[in-house]
Amino acid sequence: MVKLSVKINEQEKTYPIIINDNPVSTLKEDILSRLEGKKFLVVISEKVEKLYGKALGFEKSEKFILKDGEKEKNFKNYKKILERALKLQLTRKDTIIAIGGGVVGDLAGFAASTYMRGINFIQVPTTLLACVDSSVGGKTGIDTSFGKNLIGSFYQPNVVFINTNFLQTLDDRQFKTGMGEVVKYAFIEKSCLSEEDLNLTNYLSENIEKILSRNLRTLEKMIEICVKLKISVVQKDEKESGLRKILNFGHTYGHAVEKFTNYKKYTHGEAIVKGMDFAFNLAVKRNLIDKNYKYFWDDVIKKFNFKSIPDYPPEKMVKLMKMDKKAEFEYITFILPTDYSEVAEFKLTEKDLQ
Ligand code: GLY
């Protein structure tokens, strides 16, 4: 069992992230022991409910079951969750509990942040991507027809329970999409400014077989390293005014790939691996890194056998990247590699990209 602590200065709120592989049936007791008030609402993914509903042991009346898929992260479900919370007469002391992947965590977290101007919130991420990224750092939100996550809040949970048992039933594609974010941390590690030397790159190369065969202890350690790196970043810059932008490595081009393919063809992790590949090529072209580092990157993606994505028409991709919510005026912001495990922010024009 690993217990990490997150301290966000602005809110003076410190909360634990607990990582373990205890039986899923012990989670309810762990969660209930953390509640401030008596009442709660569990927002749970339909898939997780089917696989673990019995073991988790929550009553039907305590649950809001959310269908799976990004399209469920919408206004309609946000409203439905709030209405259930109102019906249950949750007060400010009560809690919304999210059990599922990023969609459940973002949606339930946004509901928790706005219900009665903010009630307690507990995250139980059940996908690798949610464990290492979306459940840590307090980003919540919903999607609209204008784009993803354009409505949301920064709202830190009271506690995060990461139970690695959930990862054993993840399908391969979902596991790989999480590995996309894990690999990202290896390539930004030094820029995360962690006081500890975590050396994720070494850990990944020494344990690749165990990771891919989902050895629980290996996954626990890998998740611990990633979460420590994310904590290091979000503690220094909760609201993404500076340092936190490095977490968007691979995302500028990756988001354009997702948009170009209508969020249907590739998962987020697959798209950001392509985005990191684009960033590596750009960094070589701009003489930021030498070719050996690019070959090292090529080798890593080959070893993890990430899905290969074709190059899409450059003019269309540039147009989409310019529409990104992180774009500013005529500039497109990229996080590019500058050295081993180091990245920096670059603002490039369309002309620079030609
Ligand atoms: N997913 C990137 C962040 O939390 O900032």
What is the 189 CA–ligand 1 centroid distance (Å)?
A: 15
What is the 268 CA–ligand 1 centroid distance (Å)?
A: 13
Looking at residue 250, its pLDDT comes to 98
Q: Is this model's pTM higher than 0.75 or not?
A: yes
Looking at residue 295, its pLDDT comes to 97
Q: Does residue 175 fall inside a structural domain?
A: no
Nearest atom, ligand 1, residue 233 CA = 5
Looking at residue 258, its pLDDT comes to 94
Q: Given ligand 1 and candidates 140, 248, 255, which is best to mutate, with the most ligand atoms within 8 Å of its CB?
A: 248
Nearest atom, ligand 1, residue 230 CA = 4
What is the 26 CA–ligand 1 centroid distance (Å)?
A: 29
Residues of the chain with pLDDT under 70: 10-11, 325-328
| 198 in the same domain as 154 | no
Looking at residue 148, its pLDDT comes to 87
Q: Given ligand 1 and candidates 135, 239, 240, which is best to mutate, with the most ligand atoms within 8 Å of its CB?
A: 240
Nearest atom, ligand 1, residue 136 CA = 4
What is the 253 CA–ligand 1 centroid distance (Å)?
A: 16
| 346 in the same domain as 240 | yes
Looking at residue 147, its pLDDT comes to 81
Looking at residue 326, its pLDDT comes to 65
| 279 in the same domain as 249 | yes
What is the 334 CA–ligand 1 centroid distance (Å)?
A: 15
The per-residue DSSP string of 124-189 comes to EE-SHHIIIIITSS-EEEEEETTEEEEEEEE---SEEEEEGGGGGGS-HHHHHHHHHHHHHHHHHG
Q: How far apart are CA 112 and CA 123, in angstroms?
A: 11
| 162 in the same domain as 226 | no
Angle at 18 between CA 17 and CA 21, to 5 degrees: 145
Looking at residue 325, its pLDDT comes to 64
| 224 in the same domain as 272 | yes
Looking at residue 146, its pLDDT comes to 83
Looking at residue 260, its pLDDT comes to 94
Among 170, 195, 229, the domain boundary falls at: 170
Domain range holding 325? 180-353
The per-residue DSSP string of 258-274 comes to HHHTTTTSS-HHHHHHH
CATH number, domain of 341, equals 1.20.1090.10
How many domains does the structure of the chain reveal?
A: 2
| 86 in the same domain as 46 | yes
Looking at residue 58, its pLDDT comes to 98
* β-sheet bridge partners, residue 100: 125
CATH number, domain of 160, equals 3.40.50.1970
Looking at residue 328, its pLDDT comes to 67
- Ligand 1 site residues, Cβ closer than 6 angstroms: 133, 137, 139, 240, 244, 247
CA proximity to 223, closest of 340, 97, 130? 130
| 225 in the same domain as 247 | yes
Looking at residue 323, its pLDDT comes to 80
| 241 in the same domain as 336 | yes
Is residue 335 a contact partner of residue 246, using CB atoms and an 8 Å limit? yes
What is the 138 CA–ligand 1 centroid distance (Å)?
A: 9
| 165 in the same domain as 40 | yes
Looking at residue 164, its pLDDT comes to 97
CA proximity to 43, closest of 89, 91, 111, 131? 111
Query: What are the residue numbers of the active site?
Result: 117, 139, 181, 230, 240, 244, 248, 251, 255, 268
Q: Given ligand 1 and candidates 131, 134, 325, 333, which is best to mutate, with the most ligand atoms within 8 Å of its CB?
A: 134
Name the residue with the closest Cα to ligand 1, atom 3. Answer: 247
Nearest atom, ligand 1, residue 137 CA = 4
Name the residue with the closest Cα to ligand 1, atom 2. Answer: 247
